[in-house]
Copies of this chain bind each other. A is one copy, B any other.
Amino acid sequence: MKKVVAVVGLGLIGGSLAAALRGFEDYEVLGVARRQETVDYALSHSICDRATTDASTALAEADVTFLCTDPSIVIRYMKDYREVFKPGSLVTDVCGIKTAIMEASKVLPDTVDFIGCHPMAGTEFSGIEHSFPELFQRCHFILTPRETSTEAHVDLMHRMADYIGAADVVTTTPERHDDIIAYTSQLMHIVALSVCDDAELFRCKGFEGGSFRDCTRVAALDVPLWRELLTLNSASLTKVIGRLEENIHSYRVALEHRDLERITAKLEYSSNRKRRMNLPGPGQVSAEWLEEK
């Protein structure tokens, strides 16, 4: 009999993950959605092998459960279904924050393993209609295992990451994840939103190039999801926003003073950092080596 990987929540990420996991080893992909409409869509678009609105029955037979909903719903799910998850099974998630999720996972019984997961992939769209199995191609696949997580489960996560096309698997602690993601992901959203707040926005139609489209792309975000991500990580995020404010301000001062020497030095410094950041890695190049280069 085939093993079962349940994907709970068939939105952009869940739908894409289910579709990407189809055919993985001897697993069958079982989608779980709240609405029958989503189940029908998933089946008619071959996103899952099976799909249902009956979460209890699905979780009871799942060897692996991916919780692909907003953080608050992941947290509630673990609490509400704690007795339902199959003993010996692995529960995991895809949330963009990890400390609150790992903390909430403590509600699970000892018979159920939990590994935090964050595939660094997404688009500015939401919903199963926007899902596609190639979403995870070349993404970083971040894991925050428990100290007690079994080697077999960690290994299984690696094989799934590989199967869906991830570039690499990065293992870290939930605290470090949240600290870094405040910078690499959440700050980028704050910047995109803030750029769109400019009073001149709509008067600039016809004058946008690639840099504007790229920088503001993610501003068209899913408000309920991002409200949770940003507020659950506000301590790290406000620090990194403060640092960006200083760095932007420093460029403004140099330009106000028309200090050509300083502007040139700053442009050399920043653009070289970006070029070094573009070098191959991680694993191949360490942060220390990049700093020194």
A interface vs B, CB < 8 Å?
120-123, 139-140, 142, 168, 170, 177, 180-181, 183-185, 187-212, 214-221, 223, 226-227, 230-231, 234, 237-238, 240-245, 247-252, 255-256, 258, 260, 263-264, 266-271, 273-278, 281-283, 285, 287, 290-291
Contacts and interface: CB of A to CB of B under 8 A. Distances in A.
B185 A195 contact: no
B209 A238 contact: no
A264 to B, nearest CB: 5
Contacts of A243: 198-199
Contacts of A170: 206-207
A123 B211 CA distance: 9
B205 A281 contact: yes
A234 B205 contact: no
Contact of A215 (B214, B248, B263): B214
Contacts of A282: 205-206
A275 to B, nearest CB: 5
A140 B277 contact: no
Contacts of A201: 273, 277
Q: Does more than half of chain A's interface fall in helix, strand or loop, or is it mixed?
A: helix
A280 to B, nearest CB: 10
Contacts of A269: 197
Contact of A260 (B139, B227, B241): B227
B271 A193 contact: yes
A227 B185 contact: no
A249 to B, nearest CB: 6
B256 A198 contact: no
A272 to B, nearest CB: 9
By CB atoms of chain B within 10 A, which of A193, A260, A281 has the most? A193
Given A227-B267, A249-B245, A287 B202 contact: yes
A97 to B, nearest CB: 13
A121 B227 CA distance: 34
A234 B256 contact: yes
Contacts of A180: 200, 203-204, 207
A221 B271 contact: yes
